[in-house]
Amino acid sequence: MTRDQNMEEQYRLKTQQWLKDNIDPLKERQPFSTLHWMPSKETEKNHHNACQQLQMKLYEAGFAGTTVPAEYGGHGGEAWMQKIFREESTGYQVHTGFYHSIIAMALPALLKYGTEDQKQEHIKTLISGEVSWCQLFSEPGAGSDLAGLGAKAELDGDEFVIHGQKVWNSAAMYADMGILLVRTNPNAHKHEGISFLLFDMNQPGVEVRPLIQAHGAGHFAEVFLDGARCHIENVLGEIDKGWGPARVVMSNESAMIGGAAGDNPSQLIQLAQSLGRRHEPVLRQKLANVYSRNKLLKLMSDRISVAVRNGKMPPFHPSIVKLFVAQNRRLEGDLAQEILGAAGVVTSHTASEWAMEILHSRYPISIGGGTDEVHHNNLGEQALGLPRDIRVDRGIPWKDIPKG
Ligand SMILES: Cc1cc2nc3c(=O)[nH]c(=O)nc-3n(C[C@H](O)[C@H](O)[C@H](O)COP(=O)(O)OP(=O)(O)OC[C@H]3O[C@@H](n4cnc5c(N)ncnc54)[C@H](O)[C@@H]3O)c2cc1C
């Protein structure tokens, strides 16, 4: 065994022991449990708090922020350490919910575009879960066409004064800070007059109104900004050049959502077995299909995360995994309903609510982080080199673009 192999083996043993001593195994979780199906406000808040505690615990033990440089509060480790943790933790409840998501989105942008002071101030508290962040990008008139956003920020001395509305902001009701996109130059073309702010949510002029979805969950909120302020020291990158860091956030968001393989296929197999249907040939084929697609998704998202961790470009376009995970969720939801029959839409079986939850999950997964149609456009234009979509706003200052 070489010195490197020896170090890796030691790290693996240490990781195994820590997980065994500190984290709940997934197999002890109730089968067919739901997270987003008609939860109470209290359940959601408790879940968010539990995710924060878990993030802090992982950070303290060196398993979060592992490869982040030590001078910014990370553990200064190497990519192979994260790989070992990922391999060893598959059977454990280590997912930190929206903390995982926002770190995956915001950290690469902070590392790439942050000033020394911004990195010192924000990276440690982000990766340790000490400070909760949210993403304030979408607006009622700017989702797919994000660069058309209109929340206005005007300079008053050294501070921006902000007016506008954001929407669909996940976990904004719990957030202390937000990554906020604002229009700072309406005379420039739409991609060129946007600034990216590291924004304090706890101030006058910020109103967060939770939104309740059709299945009862309150995953996100709308945020009204009325005279809220942000010092120019908190601009990430340059003023009017916020589209660069925003793109870093969005491409990491696609890869992060694509990595959400979940464990629906094993639960579907368990369900078919419990109903005595595991010998039905057509059903077996469908189960094999969702199971294999889930494995493929994990392999693809591993390839992307290994590349990103090593500071390389993703080996293939992240829109592929974003579209693949959405297709998986549709197949899984349909199959759950097929296996349960009528019990899939009434609460007469222990798996009914779980089946309804995955049936509905096709919508958020096909919209959040960019819709399926937009990701198909991305693939066509950026990966296949097809002609670009017709753009009627090209070369026009943002203020002159007709708005709905
Ligand atoms: C679960 C979830 C979590 C989210 N979290 C956040 C968050 O934390 N922060 C945040 O800022 N936003 C968040 N969003 C918002 C999300 O980014 C937007 O919903 C998404 O970008 C789509 O924008 P839209 O809803 O305005 O739809 P629209 O852009 O209005 O799209 C409407 C329809 O038109 C289609 N369409 C639009 N443009 C084109 C085109 N050029 N070609 C073909 N079809 C097109 C779309 O595919 C869609 O079917 C979240 C959304 C969801 C579902």
Residue range 182-237, pLDDT digits in tens: 999 999 999 999 999 999 999 999 999 999 988 888 889 999 999 999 999 999 99
Could you tell me the pLDDT band of residue 379, with boundaries at 50, 70 and 90?
Answer: very high
DSSP class of residue 386 equals P
CA of 21 to the centre of ligand 1 (A): 42
> Any idea of the CA torsion for 354, 260, 125, 233, to the nearest 10 degrees?
-120
Residue 364 has pLDDT above 80, yes or no: yes
Could you tell me the pLDDT band of residue 36, with boundaries at 50, 70 and 90?
Answer: confident
Could you tell me the pLDDT band of residue 389, with boundaries at 50, 70 and 90?
Answer: confident
Q: CB of 400 closer than 6 A to ligand 1?
A: no
What are 58-101's pLDDT values in tens digits? Answer: 999 999 999 999 999 999 999 899 989 989 998 899 999 999 99
Could you tell me the pLDDT band of residue 387, with boundaries at 50, 70 and 90?
Answer: very high
Cβ atoms < 10 Å from Cβ of 312: 10
Percent of the chain residues topping a pLDDT of 90: 79
The reported pLDDT for the residue numbered 164 is 98
Location of structure tokens 């198909």: 376
Residue 47 has pLDDT above 90, yes or no: yes
Q: What angle do CA 109, 111, 112 make, to 5 degrees?
A: 65
Q: CB of 135 closer than 6 A to ligand 1?
A: yes
Q: CB of 178 closer than 6 A to ligand 1?
A: no
CA of 220 to the centre of ligand 1 (A): 14
Phi-psi region of 37 (alpha: psi -120 to 50; beta: other; left: phi over 0): beta
Closest by alpha carbon to 68, among 26, 112, 27? 112
What are 148-160's pLDDT values in tens digits? Answer: 999 999 999 999 9
The reported pLDDT for the residue numbered 304 is 85
Ligand 1 atom, smallest distance to 141 CA: 26
Q: Are 292 and 243 in contact (CB under 8 A)?
A: no
Residue 404 has pLDDT above 80, yes or no: no
Q: CB of 116 closer than 6 A to ligand 1?
A: no
CA of 377 to the centre of ligand 1 (A): 14
The reported pLDDT for the residue numbered 312 is 75
Instruction: Decide the pairing of beta strands 235-236 and 194-200.
Output: antiparallel
Interface pTM, i.e. ipTM: 0.99
What are 88-139's pLDDT values in tens digits? Answer: 998 899 999 999 999 999 999 999 999 999 999 999 999 999 999 999 999 9
> Residue 316: enclosing H or E segment and its boundaries?
none
Domains of the chain, each with CATH number or no CATH: 30-127 (1.10.540), 133-243 (2.40.110.10), 247-383 (1.20.140.10)
Could you tell me the pLDDT band of residue 336, with boundaries at 50, 70 and 90?
Answer: very high
Q: Which two tokens stand for residue 139?
A: 């607006």
Give the three-class secondary structure for 128.
coil
Could you tell me the pLDDT band of residue 308, with boundaries at 50, 70 and 90?
Answer: confident
Q: Are 181 and 137 in contact (CB under 8 A)?
A: yes
